[in-house]
Chain A
Amino acid sequence: MTELTLTVTEANTHAVELYFDEHYSMTHSFNAAVWVRPER
């Protein structure tokens, strides 16, 4: 094992800061999309 990877939501700023403090670096980003049918 030579590396660790993980995904985190950008809005979760406390977690993102924590990971950066632990020497993680961002190598990629992607979208999470959600749709909820409106109540009638």
Chain B
Amino acid sequence: MASGLSLEILDLRHFAAPALRPLLEAESAVWRERLNWDYLSSAKLLLQYLDARTLPGYVALDAGRVTGYIFCVYEDSKAVIGDVFAHNLGERHQDGHLKPEAVEVETNLLRHMIELLLNSPGVDRIESQLLLHPGGALGDVFREAGFDVHRRLYLRRSLAGPPLPRPPSLPSQLEMRPWQDSDLVAAGRLISEAYRGHTDSLINDQYRTVHGSAFSRTSCAFPAAEPFLRRPRTWLSNGATGSWWDCCLARGSVRNADTLPRFAFTRPFAGWVWAGRCFASPHRNSSARV
């Protein structure tokens, strides 16, 4: 190894939770620092999978010390690379770049994972969104293996900034009310329709089907999202006829931030502005026909 590392890559299922705990704690700190996300619940879930020895992936050992890991999950013929992390990822040079050792470990792990999946006859599709890793990082590894790579942006909006205007009035036939569990199938139908032919449905094929949209298995593929599912906060509007018009799905909150990972509209972007503004509206938790 050019960096002097003495890396050994082993199957993740050889390792139980105690061996990975320090690594996951270090990763949780990076999630908190970089994205203001509480990763501890997700880490706890991962540790449970590790103890069950059911999580496919690899561990990187440097001189016998666990220094990185990667895992994936299978969904039928699709594999999702959920995360890759190296121990000193959080330690950066003054210019903000990762240390070469961390890059080397993550690159090595990712290449192993990709090679395994590409050579798995039952795998016809591989997806990955490595949210923690800054733009450009590891992109070349994916491209070299024949992946299409799409840049995604993480946006933040302070509620202490410019005041959010009051939501505009809705057309009389629309109703806005909080999410109900019974809305799941209708939301799935709306989302799959709205995302037909959309770039995001190329990135995540769950958007292409009603079932996939309604029951996002993101919680398994990407554990960082898992705690969000426990506290859904969703606003939606439907027509007087009962057919859906727009919906806005929000899952949060983690520490002091709410995350809106997905929303869909049956007409382009209509309603999003007021839906977003509703978060700051004093009426946000009330059913309303406007």
Query: Using a CB–CB distance below 8 Å, which chain A residues touch chain B?
Result: 1-12, 14-16, 18-19, 22-37
Complex Cα spacing A8 to B153, Å: 5
Task: For the A-B complex with A1-B256, A23-B157 known, give 19 more contacts whose Cβ atoms are closer than 8 Å.
Answer: A1-B279, A2-B159, A3-B257, A9-B151, A9-B152, A9-B153, A12-B199, A19-B155, A23-B161, A25-B156, A27-B155, A28-B35, A30-B129, A30-B134, A31-B129, A31-B142, A32-B150, A32-B203, A33-B148
Task: Please determine whether B155 and A31 come into contact, CB atoms closer than 8 angstroms.
Answer: no
Interface size on B, residues (CB 8 A): 61
B210 at interface (Cβ–Cβ under 8 A)? no
Instruction: Count CB-based A-B contacts (< 8 Å).
Output: 179
Near A by CB (< 8 A), chain B positions 34-78 give 34-36
Task: Please determine whether A29 and B134 come into contact, CB atoms closer than 8 angstroms.
Answer: yes
Q: Which residues in B have their C-beta under 8 angstroms from that of A28?
A: 34-35, 134-135, 153-154
Q: Which residues in B have their C-beta under 8 angstroms from that of A29?
A: 134-135, 151-154
Task: Please determine whether B276 and A14 come into contact, CB atoms closer than 8 angstroms.
Answer: no
Complex Cα spacing A25 to B154, Å: 8
Q: Which residues in B have their C-beta under 8 angstroms from that of A35?
A: 118, 125-126, 142, 145-148
Given A12-B200, A25-B156, A29-B151, check contact A4 B276 (CB 8 Å): yes
Q: Which residues in A have their C-beta under 8 angstroms from that of B9?
A: none
B209 at interface (Cβ–Cβ under 8 A)? no
Task: Please determine whether A31 and B273 come into contact, CB atoms closer than 8 angstroms.
Answer: no
Complex Cα spacing A13 to B256, Å: 28
Q: Which residues in B have their C-beta under 8 angstroms from that of A11?
A: 150-151, 199
